[in-house]
Amino acid sequence: MPRLREFPWRATRDPWHVLISEVMLQQTNVGRVRPRFERFVALAPTPAACVDVALADLLVEWQGMGYPRRCRNIQDAARVIVERHGGEVPRDLDSLMALPGIGPYTARAILAFAFGDDAAVVDTNVARVISRVEGRAMKPRETQALADEMLPRGLSRDWNQVVMDFGATVCNARSPRCSSCPIARLCSWCGEGADPARTTAFTSRPQGRFEGSDRQARGRMMKRLTEGSVQATRVAEVMGLDDGDRAERLVESLVADGLVERVGRAYRLSEKRR
């Protein structure tokens, strides 16, 4: 359920709002996205408006969704849209892919959900369904090609929605419900033998331990910074680290990412308007 992409904003179809929602949904479950999406759009209703908001204010709205570089990417994309596309989200694959933070999935999601164009999205759910139906592991290019072939023309919105939700529920990763699967007759796998999706591209790769990781420390710092600036001498403490050199390196990585800036002896969220 939490991964279902069904959503009221599908009805809006404002390309900028679809872009924001799809970037948010790249890494974050729909239940956590919903309330933040509304506030974010209120703050940055158009690309031009987004450019004029301090990144720090956008990051406050972002806090809790993870991967805050995505938030910076949205503002960077807004600037490109204003400077190169007259303030309108472009309607072709190459221009969309050229935007910061917009890859193969998100570019096609914008084409399909915002514009209704014939574009087949391949997220992890779609890739899993296709590789199981085909009964073999596949590389990204081939997976995309098959998704393109399957797409019923003129129905991209409903089709993409249905395939992603089908993959998130019936044809899920851990315990697929093959015994009640409506397309079992079309499936090469049917839950018997090795799962082809396990070795196919697009499926998520294992990740290092989170406890004690750089990400955890960065995340703690970002959360604390949404409440106000942090003295340089207290960075390690905020991050929960004993190692001052490591804390220094990590806060500088946040600066390098454009999320944080140093002002005198303190750090704060970047005020930069892009």
Partner DNA sequence: AAGCCGTGGAT
Partner DNA sequence: TATCCACGGCT
Please tell me whether residue 274 binds DNA under the rule CB under 7 A: no
Cβ atoms of residues 116 and 156 within 8 Å: yes
Please tell me whether residue 29 binds DNA under the rule CB under 7 A: yes
Q: Which is nearer to DNA, 151 or 264 (CB)?
A: 151
> Can you tell me which of 21, 46, 75, 124 binds DNA, judged by CB under 7 A?
124
Please tell me whether residue 2 binds DNA under the rule CB under 7 A: yes
Please tell me whether residue 256 binds DNA under the rule CB under 7 A: no
Please tell me whether residue 191 binds DNA under the rule CB under 7 A: no
Q: What is the spatial order of strands in the sheet that 230-231 belongs to?
A: 230-231, 266-269, 260-263
Q: Which is nearer to DNA, 41 or 129 (CB)?
A: 129
Taking CB under 7 A as the binding criterion, the range among 8-16, 153-161, 178-186, 213-221 that sits at the site for DNA is 213-221
> Can you tell me which of 18, 58, 81, 107 binds DNA, judged by CB under 7 A?
107
Please tell me whether residue 215 binds DNA under the rule CB under 7 A: yes
Please tell me whether residue 245 binds DNA under the rule CB under 7 A: no
111 burial level (CB within 10 Å; 0-12, 13-18, 19+): buried
Q: Which amino acid is at 67?
A: Y
Please tell me whether residue 132 binds DNA under the rule CB under 7 A: no
Please tell me whether residue 117 binds DNA under the rule CB under 7 A: no
Please tell me whether residue 100 binds DNA under the rule CB under 7 A: yes
> Can you tell me which of 149, 153, 174, 227 binds DNA, judged by CB under 7 A?
174
> Can you tell me which of 47, 101, 176, 196 binds DNA, judged by CB under 7 A?
101
Q: Which is nearer to DNA, 205 or 265 (CB)?
A: 205
Does the active-site annotation cover 22? Answer: yes
Give me the active site residues, please.
Answer: 22
- Residues of this chain that interact with DNA (CB under 7 A) are 1-3, 26-29, 31-32, 63-69, 73, 99-107, 123-125, 168, 173-175, 202-211, 213-216, 218-220, 222-223, 253, 257
